[in-house]
Amino acid sequence: MILDILERSLRERSPLIPVEALLNTCEGSRMPDVYPALLTPEIARRVAEICPTAAFTTREAGDQLELRLSYGECIGCGRCAEVGHGAIVAAQTFPWTGVSKQRLVRRWNVNEKAEITVISPEPEQAREEIYALLGRALNIRQLDPGSCNGCEAEITALTNPFYDLERFGIHFVASPKHADMLLVTGPVTRNMAEAVKLTYEAVPAPKLVVAVGACGCSGGVFAGSHAVVGPVDAVIPVDAYIPGCPPTPAMLVNGILQALQRHHHER
Amino acid sequence: MKDNGNPEDLEPQQGSGDAVFSVPLAHSGAPARLVTLFGSLTQSRQVVVRYVFDLGDPDYRIIERRIDGPLASITPLMPAATWYERELHDQYGVNLTGHPDLRPLLFHENWSEEIHPMLKTPSEIPWVERDYPFLKVQGQGVCEVAVGPVHAGIIEPGHFRFSVMGDLVLHLELRHFYTHKGTEKLFEGSTADSGVIIAESVSGDNCFAHAVAYCQAVENAGAVSAPLRAAAIRLIGLELERLIAHIGDVGFLANDVGFVVAHALASSIKESLLRASARCFGTRYWRGVACPGGVRIDLDAKQGAMLSEAVARAAREFATLAHVILETPSVQSRFETAGVLYENFAEDLAVVGPVARASGVDLDVRRDHPYGRYRDLQLEVPTIHYGDVLARARIRIQEAAVSARLICETLGALPPGPTRLAVPFDGQRQGHSAVESPRGELFYWVEIEDGRLRRCHVKSPSFQNWPAMPLAVAGNIIADFPLINKSFNLSYSGCDR
């Protein structure tokens, strides 16, 4: 019987998703993207009004209206796309993962119908570069300081045969003392604050900290709760952010790789 | 037999120093099952405690008591109330007399004792240091093993304190609520429409069950029901969530006994369903789908056929895999007799869901308190009376097959019509609803005033089932703990809220 299963596994094509197909996709996350050509002041104001976590905000500057989108706050609820009249849609690609907090924010001039985000250029991701970079193994210690377990479910998926994070030489370890990277989900609760600090201290330097999910980036739905201290960077220093509620496994893979790359270039 | 619906039954009897309750009886004559108990505030800020019981009727029996001064604990009569009353004590500062254990539950050593967030919104909570006494098991050769809150692996935080003699676990004490996020407080003041976002974040892997339970409670308050088509789409989502959860759980159980091939295959089957979901609905875990009054999405015939095919294929593959897992001798020898939860323990602690059904307790909200499309279904509920890890695995395997069949049948006959209707929110309204989540009975109670939530209580199956888990671990070797814990597969965040 077990032989039947093994035989079928051998006969069937491996479900492994090729690296090229993983890069930048965000299907299933409902993260929004903006088509500036279709933006109107009405749409911009309406979207800012209904966004439940204030990821979309507007700002009047003289007679110009600015629309601002912070992915760190976005929970992918899809309400914006319902009132966006095509100007706001679910994103097809998503490079805003594993980046600095600053890079999670995008801005548009609504009157001019143009994106005005100022960004320092970040290197293009290429397959060769990723492989060259990951000459050594990366050990990740996942830490949950108060997540709803949505992010955990998706991080667990990284080890399944579709994503197989081990192919990049990346794997999850049991102790922070064995880790190069802390992958931290969720808002930090008051009850977990001390454990988070102790875990951070237990990771040997040099270490990378990546905040995961809307809660990890900004506190998300739980921002402002009396039982929550804040997002991850309220308690320990964070190097890179992976937004999403929860981020899909593809966004997590991209984020982890991108965080590594940034670190590599900065050193 | 007395009329059990009479609230006076719960009044302490006059003249006795220790207040005594007469617990309401179910139709069977046995004490009614406690579903939940929780506090809320009246307009004049008086504490009201509500006890929710299952008497065996389609609807629940809710008994209200206004509190002036101390309240007699029902824990000595109903052990299932113990954590609920400790939570009431923490959140509302209710002085419970006769409760055997009033150590703080939600708030850890760094919270000052005077904080009762649901009674009075704290402006600032001073950081203090308090003691938390664990139960000490004493005797020659008894050691303590402390595990957590940070565990080895991708797991939520919680603390386990084992008292062992050699490998044998004599006693296990839980210290949870590390992920307590003040969720019930966050609901206060939120609009009835956006409350669903908070409900979805109570327990991420069961987010759709939470969303539907919340929406149904709001609809109950508004005295409306979601349209037929919306109810059918909700059923598909709920059963898909159960199917995904059960496939994942069985895979992890195999993993915990070293059968990694089976785990890899189970995680592939699970992922294929999540990907089909993302392709059909743009969301892997059905976040942002349910809303008060219906659902925010619709699906066309093509999407339906695609999902139906993915589910049928997954169910077929899982059935083959499950058969292999259960017939493997090394798996049998680890699963059988490990972590037995006896039926009387399960009943005393009012355990719910697959864990209860694996211990011979015949409960399923879908059949006993039907909602939505389940009202029109004849659902068979499998039960097994062995109560061990094997029983909990087999229950999940059987339920997965039922879920897959329900999804395909519903997709094949989706009723036409609207997917959403308006819910009236004017004035002050209360409503409640229950859903059979993958982990068991999930109960929501809401109070809405002019479109905003005054109170939302969440009874999660994990909060109910956690106290029973240590009873299944005692008497086993400590190396079997991960397997037994996995076979319960309880949510920490869902419990801690």
Beta bridge partners, B97, equal B72
Regarding whether A255 and A181 lie in a shared domain, the answer is yes
On whether residue A16 sits in a domain, the answer given is no
Cα–Cα distance, B402 to B404 (Å, whole number): 6
Cα–Cα distance, A185 to A191 (Å, whole number): 15
Q: Which of A115, A139, A159 is the last residue of a domain?
A: A115
Closest residue in chain B to residue A222, using alpha carbons only: B181
Cα–Cα distance, A151 to B214 (Å, whole number): 22
Q: Which of A115, A149, A177 is the last residue of a domain?
A: A115
Regarding whether A203 and A72 lie in a shared domain, the answer is no
- How much is the mean pLDDT over chain A? 86
Q: Which residues of A are less than 8 Å from B321 in CB distance?
A: 5
Closest residue in chain B to residue A153, using alpha carbons only: B205
Read off the pLDDT of residues B175-213 as tens digits, 9 standing for 90 and up. Answer: 999 999 999 999 999 999 899 999 999 999 999 999 999
Predicted local distance difference test score (pLDDT) of residue B24 = 86
Q: Which amino acid is at B366?
A: R
Regarding whether A154 and A179 lie in a shared domain, the answer is yes
Number of residue pairs across A and B with CB atoms under 8 Å?
190
Contact A225 B183 (CB under 8 A): yes
Cβ pair B444, B432 in contact under 8 A: yes
Strands (E), A138-203: 138-143, 170-172, 181-185, 188-189
pLDDT over 90 at B25, yes or no: no
Give the burial class of B367: count Cβ atoms within 10 A of its Cβ; 0-12 exposed, 13-18 middle, 19 or more buried.
middle
Q: Residues of B117-151 as b/e, b for ≥16 C-beta within 10 angstroms? A: bbeeebeebeeeeeeeeeeebeeeeeeeeebbbbb
Mean pLDDT of B313-327: 94
Contact B275 A225 (CB under 8 A): no
On whether residue A4 sits in a domain, the answer given is no
Read off the pLDDT of residues B432-449 as tens digits, 9 standing for 90 and up. Answer: 999 999 999 999 999 999
Mean pLDDT of B307-322: 95
Half-sphere exposure of residue A141, counting CA atoms within 13 Å on the CB side? 24
On whether residue A10 sits in a domain, the answer given is no
On whether residue A171 sits in a domain, the answer given is yes
* Phi, then psi, of A181 in degrees rounded to 5: -130, 135
The three-state secondary structure class of B11 is coil
Higher pLDDT, B496 or B14: B496
Q: Which pair of structure tokens corresponds to residue B41? A: 């505030």
Contact A226 B198 (CB under 8 A): no
Regarding whether A138 and A250 lie in a shared domain, the answer is yes
Cβ pair A117, A71 in contact under 8 A: no
Cα–Cα distance, A247 to B77 (Å, whole number): 46
Contact A195 B111 (CB under 8 A): no
Q: Which residues of B are less than 8 Å from A174 in CB distance?
A: 152-153
Regarding whether A256 and A177 lie in a shared domain, the answer is yes
Closest residue in chain B to residue A162, using alpha carbons only: B268
Q: Which residues of B are less than 8 Å from A153 in CB distance?
A: 204-205, 285
The whole-angstrom distance between residue A148's C-alpha and the CA centroid of its chain comes to 16
Nearest by CB to B493, from A79, A147, A191: name it.
A147
Q: What share of chain B is helix, strand, coil (3-state, %, to 5)?
A: 40, 15, 40
pLDDT over 80 at B7, yes or no: no
Classify residue B211 as left (phi > 0), alpha (psi -120 to 50) or beta.
Answer: alpha
Contact B296 A162 (CB under 8 A): no
pLDDT confidence bin for B6, thresholds 50/70/90: very low
Predicted local distance difference test score (pLDDT) of residue B16 = 36
Regarding whether A141 and A104 lie in a shared domain, the answer is no
Contact B110 A194 (CB under 8 A): yes
On whether residue A164 sits in a domain, the answer given is yes
Look up the ipTM and state it.
0.91
Domain boundaries, chain B: 1-133, 183-496
Read off the pLDDT of residues B357-381 as tens digits, 9 standing for 90 and up. Answer: 999 999 999 999 999 999 988 898 9
Higher pLDDT, B382 or A131: B382
pLDDT over 70 at A166, yes or no: yes
| Number of domains chain A contains | 2
Read off the pLDDT of residues B112-158 as tens digits, 9 standing for 90 and up. Answer: 888 999 998 888 888 999 999 999 999 999 999 999 899 888 889 99
Q: Which residues of B are less than 8 Å from A1 in CB distance?
A: 323-324, 327
Contact A155 B154 (CB under 8 A): yes
Give the burial class of A58: count Cβ atoms within 10 A of its Cβ; 0-12 exposed, 13-18 middle, 19 or more buried.
middle
The three-state secondary structure class of B41 is strand
Cα–Cα distance, B403 to B437 (Å, whole number): 12
pLDDT over 60 at B15, yes or no: no
Predicted local distance difference test score (pLDDT) of residue A260 = 81
B125/chain A closest Cα distance in angstroms: 8
Contact A153 B205 (CB under 8 A): yes
Regarding whether A255 and A159 lie in a shared domain, the answer is yes
Regarding whether A261 and A131 lie in a shared domain, the answer is yes
Predicted local distance difference test score (pLDDT) of residue A72 = 94
Cα–Cα distance, B242 to B398 (Å, whole number): 12
pLDDT confidence bin for B464, thresholds 50/70/90: very high
Q: Which pair of structure tokens corresponds to residue B122? A: 């704290």
Q: Which residues of B are less than 8 Å from A248 in CB distance?
A: 278, 284
On whether residue A18 sits in a domain, the answer given is no
Cα–Cα distance, B436 to B458 (Å, whole number): 13
pLDDT over 80 at A124, yes or no: no
- How much is the mean pLDDT over chain B? 91
Regarding whether A232 and A167 lie in a shared domain, the answer is yes
Kind of pairing between the strands at A170-172 and A188-189: unpaired
Q: Which pair of structure tokens corresponds to residue B352? A: 């719910």
Regarding whether A161 and A94 lie in a shared domain, the answer is no
Is the full-model pTM beyond 0.90? Answer: yes
pLDDT over 50 at A59, yes or no: yes
Residue entry with tokens 């697959």: B354
CATH 3.40.50.620 fits B183-496, yes or no: no
Residue A168 belongs to domain spanning: 127-266
The enclosing domain of A259 has a CATH number of 3.40.50.12280
Asked if the C-beta of A10 comes within 8 angstroms of chain B's C-beta atoms, the answer is no
Contact B157 A220 (CB under 8 A): no
Q: Which residues of A are less than 8 Å from B494 in CB distance?
A: 149
Half-sphere exposure of residue B480, counting CA atoms within 13 Å on the CB side? 26
Regarding whether A262 and A133 lie in a shared domain, the answer is yes
Q: Within the 127-186 window of chain A, which residues sit less than 8 Å (CB to CB) from chain B?
A: 142-157, 159-162, 172, 174-176, 186
B115 DSSP assignment: -
pLDDT over 90 at B10, yes or no: no
Of the candidates B455, B431, B458, B432, the one whose C-alpha atom is nearest the C-alpha of residue B201 is B458
A141/chain B closest Cα distance in angstroms: 8
Regarding whether A86 and A134 lie in a shared domain, the answer is no
- Per the document, the length of chain B is 497
Read off the pLDDT of residues B243-292 as tens digits, 9 standing for 90 and up. Answer: 999 999 999 999 999 999 999 999 999 999 999 999 888 899 999 999 99
* Phi, then psi, of A106 in degrees rounded to 5: -125, 150
